[in-house]
Each structure stands twice: as C-alpha cells, then as structure tokens.
Structure 1
Amino acid sequence: MIKKKICFVLGSRANYSSIKTVMTEFKKNLNFNIQIILFNSSILDRYGDISELLKNDKFLIKDKIFTLVEGEKPLTMAKSTGLGLIEISTCLNRISPDLVFVVGDRFETMATAISSTYMNIPLAHTMGGEVTGTIDESIRHALTKLSHLHFVATKNSKIRVKKMGENPSNIFQVGCPRIDFVKETLELTKLNKDDIKDGVGYQIDYDKPFIIFSYHPVTTEYVDIKNQIDLLLSCINDLDIQSIIIWPNADAGSGEIAKMIRIYRERGCLKKTKLFKNIPTQTYIHLLNKTKCIVGNSSSGIREGNYIGVPCVNIGSRQHLRERGKNVKDVGYNKKKIINAIKTQIKIGKYSRDFLYGDGKAGKKIVNILEKIKNIKVQKTINY
C-alpha cells in the first residue's frame, strides 16, 4: 500500500497548537505518512523554538528552514515571506508531498501557499473564512483562494468561503483543531509549575487571583503601536493585580512592544508582573483556565477562552469582527474604560462553556474526510 504523504509547514508555536491534533490523527492512520517542516519563528528561541516539543510528542521533523529576517518591520515581514518562498520551494521539491496543510492567517504561511500553488501541490487550509483586523484579514482570504480543501471552524466561515467562489463540495465545517488541543489538555494533563519558573519578575502565587496580558502588533496600525502599548502597560500597572505578560509574536511592531515593556520594568513599574518570552502551550491552556481575565488582543481569549469560559477584555481592532461569545468585552484605547472592563470581568467570573468554535473533534473529522477523498483536482474554477 502506498501511503499518501501529508506535509505540515509550521512557522510559529501557535501554528503547532492549531494543528497538533490533526497531525496526531494522521500519524495514527496507516494510510498516511506525515512530513513536518519548521521555519520562521518556530525554530527561534526568542519566540519559542518548538523543535524539542515536537520530538517529545514523537513527531519526526523532516526539515528546518531559517527564513525570519530581523527587524520586526513591514519591510522585514515582506522579505521573510520572499525568503520563505525560495527555501520552502526547494524543500517541497525534494520531499514531493501529495498534500500540504497550512494553518490560519500568519504572514509566513503565504510563502508555503504560493510555493505549493506554483508546484501543483494540492493545498488544505484550516481556519479559513474568519474575519479579523490587521494584515491577517487579507492573508487569510488569499490563502483561501490558493487552497483546494477548506476545513473551517464555524457556520459563518463556511458561508464566507462559499461566497468567495470556492467549490461547496470542498468546504467542510469541522470546528477548530485548537479546541481539540484545549479539550485534550484540560482532560488529560495538569498544570506543571516547573514550566512557569523561567519567567522574569514577580513571583506569582497561582493560587491567588491573576490576569494574563497578551498583546500583539496591529500591523496596519504600525505607526501607533508605541502609544498603544504605553497606554496598556499603564493600565496593568495601575490595576495592582498579579499579572502575566506574554511576549509578542514576530509581526512588524513587536520590537516596539518589547522595548516599552523593558522601559516600564526599568522604571520600577509592573511590580506584580511576571514576563514570559514563551510558555509551553499546555501550560498556557492551564493558566488560561485559572486566570481571572485575559486582557489584550490575542485570539486565544476569543477562541480558546470561549470554550473554557474565561473572561476576556479584547482591546483594539486586531480581532475586529471575529465571531465571539458572551465571555468577551470589547474596548478601545481608553484607559478608564479598559480598567473598568477588566474589573467588571473579574467580578463576573467564569462564563458558561460555549462550542462556537467546535466540540474538540476537528482532527478526527479532518482525517476521516481525507480518507474518503481519492483525488484532488489541482485546477481550480471559481464557482459563481
């Protein structure tokens, strides 16, 4: 029996948690052979190298490609994508997969999608059809148009992908694989406090109230990032509650965020705050389950937070129009409103669990669907 070769190209730590359960299901299935390529921030210590994580999970890494151009500016994002296109094309030509999987809306994912398209390799995409702010909005829909199979999380996402002219028979509402990971983590593991000793700053008592602050650059508001993070850190400082600050991703503007965090610490501010450059994903899920509130603009407060029921204060436009549940309160860049929203969410406490983004079985559904698909037509035709 000839096994189908399924290639997963992972460009960040978030990519892995977003597709891990799918990879696991493929690995268990005798009809498939998985190939894993790591590139961009996924192999850099600064952003959380996932190499050892994959090895611990018993995944074999086929190749590592260094493509991230330093600078954290719009220019370097474009250059990183271009370099990724060159290097990934070489890698795909060598391993010759039958199908390539791409995840979500990260800028580096475009390199994989363009390369696969020109090389006539069918492309499968998860988390398409969703709506947000920042450059991710454009990247996500571009990925949809380059992809052949669409594994979407919600009913509305399925409708949007269909409206973009994709073949309805190739659109599958399966839920989000990240919810699989959350469900599995909370049911099968416990918080390992050894994984949260490496942060810098205040020694947080995790049995007492704490909040999580996770704020990433809004690339389409690049010139405003310094003022935005200055305002938000002043809110955290004034709240005087135990706080975990998560290092930003590799998008343009992350350097400004990191610089401002350092400035606040040098001033002697953020006294009850612990800073983490990266946290093991399972540990993060357990912290999300324990926190009184997640604050910032990370999708985890909206997606994973919705399933867990954690109170979320979403700030600014990065998650603009993303489907959300009752656990989310949206605010703009207004200090008084941000602080009041956080206090209100802490007072409300845990929300009821919601299944907006799936029931935790997306990985199994995706593999079951692909088992039934014998041939994937490379030539696409717009369906309107």
Structure 2
Amino acid sequence: MKLGVLTSSRADYGIYLPLLQKIKKDSFFKLEIIAFGTHMSRSHGYTFSDIEKEGYNCIHKISSLISNDDEESISSSYGLTVLKFADFWSKNTYDLVFCLGDRFEMSAAVQSGIPFGIKFAHIHGGETTLGAIDNVYRHQITLASKLHFTATDIFKNKVVDLIGSSEGVFDVGSLSLNDIKSFTPIKREVFFEKFNIPNEEFALVTFHPETMSVHENGQYALEMKNALMTISEKIFVIITMPNADTQGSVYREAIEKLKNEKSNHFLLIENFGKLNYFSAMHYAKILIGNTSSGILEAASFCKYVVNVGDRQKGRVQSKNVINCEFEEKAIVSSVKKAIEFKAYTGENIYFKLDAADNIIKIIKQFT
C-alpha cells in the first residue's frame, strides 16, 4: 500500500510520529513523506532537518510560504500552496494520503488534491476552535477526506454531521498520546543543562494569535507581555515561539522584547522537538497560553493549564484546564491560582490505548 503523509509544521509532525514509526517498520506499506509549510522556514527553525534525521526512504520537499504573516500574505501563501500541489498531485499517486489538523497550508494541499480524486485520511477532525479561523480549514479538510480519525466521540459525531454519514469515521483518541504510558523524559539534570534552565520551577508558555480577532491581536500581545513580565517575578518562564498564523509576528515581537528586557527570567525556544517538548511538560509546574497541546496533552503529564482567550474555545476539556480572558490581570490571577494546586490527578479525555495500531488496522482494510 503506497501511503503519503502530508506534514506542514513541527506540531503535526510530532503528532504523527508514533504512527510513522510503526508504518516505517511494516512491509505492507510504502511510505512517502510530503513536507511543506513551516518545515522549510528558517525563521521557524527549519524543522525539515528533523524529518531528514528519521531516515525515511522517500521525502518530498515543497516550498510555498511567503515570509510575511499579514492577511494578504497568508492568502497568497494559500494560493501558492494550491498551485505547487496541483503540480505535485499531477505527478504522484497514492492509495491513501494522511492529513492532520487545521493549518491553512494543510487545507491548501488537500483542496488542491480534490480534482485529482486523492483519497485523504484526516486525523483530528471534528474539533471546534472559536478563536481561530482554523475551523474553516479543518472542516474543509474533513469534507475532502475519505477516512476520519477523531480524538473523542464528540468530535466523531461532529464529523458524522458534517459529511452526513458514519462510514469511514473512527474515534481513536489523540495520536500524540499513543506512547504516553511508556514515555520516559530526558533526565532532569541533562535536560536543564542542555537548555541552560536554572534549577528551579518553571512555567511552559505558548501563545499563538487569535485569527478570528485580527484587530485585537496587538492589544492581546501587549496583555500577554505585561502578564508574563509579572509572572516571571515568581517563576522562570520558558516560551515556545508562535506559529506562522496571521499576525504571529505581533506576538513574536512582544516575546522578544520580554527576553531583551529581562533576559535571565525567560528562555525562548523556536523548536523543541517532541521529546524535548514532552520532557519540558513533564518538568514544568504549569502550562500557560492558548495552544492545543495544553488542551490535548497536558492532563497526561498531571499539569494544570491556564488557557487564555478564545483560540481553543469550543474544544472539549479535561478538568485540568483553567480558562481566563485575554487580559493581564486575569492571566496573572489564574496563574497564581494554578501554581497553588498540587499535581492534577484526573483523567485525560483525549487518551485511548493503541491509537496508532488501531489506525493501521483500519487503513489495511481500506480499498
């Protein structure tokens, strides 16, 4: 079975990894990686190099992003990605192509494949994020796909509603949690020394723009900066940098100012990679921000999450999530509350055993 895997960012690649590692070892499959999006961006850590290190037999490399992140540039990048993939799909055929999530680049690659009759398998469909335009991209990908692997039963029902059928829709849990029960973090002293982290508690922070509130992002970035400045007086702060969404640079600039103003209170990371990021979650006191990782994964690390603003609004949550407005005082107050809690001991509603194995069993029956 010839499989293609579309990966456009560090985020989706990290989620794919448990599945890719099993597929690579299975002679039933001929695996080809199709890398594009921010994987090729030097300003986002050139994560294509991480893919190369895995030793896949075939990796396709497609560059299509424009460097700016204003609305016109994002739209132009979308169009360019469609054109690049029109050429790619005309020359390459697959029995099945995996796509994941809700990025605009992923949406463009999938949309380009519709006239070619490409059979797509979508991971993480059916979710809702009211503060991000990703809803549109995610549902477009769902409508273009033949197979669907959702993270919860609620999301499965949403996909069924969208496509008008339950055929080909499977609730397998969050793929990124596939190996969580056997996960072993990097040794604490090795991890802290590797990234020059002081020997103390730290907060792990990730903020992305609210793409449904483009005119508010300047103010939101300021609220974030002021809140993190106050929080850093109480706890060391590690920040993973924003993605390539519309106005991501507004947050990036605010974060870089924090580092310049109080360099010994902050550590900025462009690309941790999955092992380092999961190790960071393991050792962190709390998570702060508006990333999906806080909603999907943090509960499995027994961490509380301060979820800021509306970007993740609509995603079902485990009981470790503390929601607050995108406002300085609300963020500081919520973080103060979260720091006082002991480790979270509840369930992660996104976890199911053997997600990768179950996906493989299903696609082997697909014709």
Tell me the TM-score normalised to structure 2 length: 0.93
Distance 1:113 1:365 in 2: 24
Distance 1:224 1:74 in 2: 14
Distance 2:215 2:237 in 1: 27
Q: 2:302 aligns with which of 300, 306, 309?
A: 309
Asked if 2 retains the 8 angstrom alpha-carbon contact of 1:21 and 1:177, the reply is yes
Please report the RMSD computed on the Cα atoms of aligned residues, expressed in angstroms. 1.9
Q: 1:363 aligns with which of 352, 356, 364?
A: 356
Distance 2:187 2:113 in 1: 39
In structure 1, what is the equivalent of residue 236 of structure 2? Answer: 242
In structure 1, what is the equivalent of residue 283 of structure 2? Answer: 290
In structure 2, what is the equivalent of residue 378 of structure 1? Answer: none
Give the drift of 1:54: 2.1
Residues 139-162 of structure 1: CA deviation (Å, up to 9, x unaligned): 111111111111111010111111
Q: 2:328 aligns with which of 315, 335, 354?
A: 335
Asked if 2 retains the 8 angstrom alpha-carbon contact of 1:308 and 1:353, the reply is no
Distance 1:361 1:100 in 2: 21
In structure 2, what is the equivalent of residue 190 of structure 1? Answer: 186
Secondary structure of 1:213's counterpart equals: strand
**Residue 226 (structure 1) aligned with residue 218 (structure 2):** yes
Q: Which amino acid aligns with 1:249?
A: N
Q: Which amino acid aligns with 2:163?
A: G
Tell me the TM-score normalised to structure 1 length: 0.89
For residues 175 and 232 of structure 1, do their structure 2 counterparts lie closer, same or farther at Cα, with a shift above 3 Å needed? same
Give the drift of 1:193: 6.8
Range that drifts further, 77-86 or 189-198 = 189-198
For residues 138 and 183 of structure 1, do their structure 2 counterparts lie closer, same or farther at Cα, with a shift above 3 Å needed? farther
In structure 1, what is the equivalent of residue 247 of structure 2? Answer: 253
Asked if 2 retains the 8 angstrom alpha-carbon contact of 1:101 and 1:125, the reply is yes
In structure 2, what is the equivalent of residue 264 of structure 1? Answer: 258
Distance 2:259 2:172 in 1: 44
After TM superposition, the structure 1 = structure 2 runs for residues 53-68 of structure 1, keeping only pairs within 5 Å, are 53-68=50-65
Q: Which amino acid aligns with 2:186?
A: K
Give the drift of 1:138: 1.4
Count of paired positions: 364
Q: 2:6 aligns with which of 6, 9, 25?
A: 9
Secondary structure of 2:104's counterpart equals: coil
Q: 2:207 aligns with which of 215, 222, 231?
A: 215
Give the drift of 1:343: 1.3
For residues 195 and 54 of structure 1, do their structure 2 counterparts lie closer, same or farther at Cα, with a shift above 3 Å needed? farther
In structure 1, what is the equivalent of residue 91 of structure 2? Answer: 94
Give the drift of 1:45: 2.6
Which runs of 5 or more residues in structure 1 are unaligned?
A: 376-384
Q: 1:112 aligns with which of 109, 112, 118?
A: 109
Q: Which amino acid aligns with 2:343?
A: K
Asked if 1 retains the 8 angstrom alpha-carbon contact of 2:220 and 2:327, the reply is no
Asked if 2 retains the 8 angstrom alpha-carbon contact of 1:237 and 1:270, the reply is no
In structure 2, what is the equivalent of residue 299 of structure 1? Answer: 292
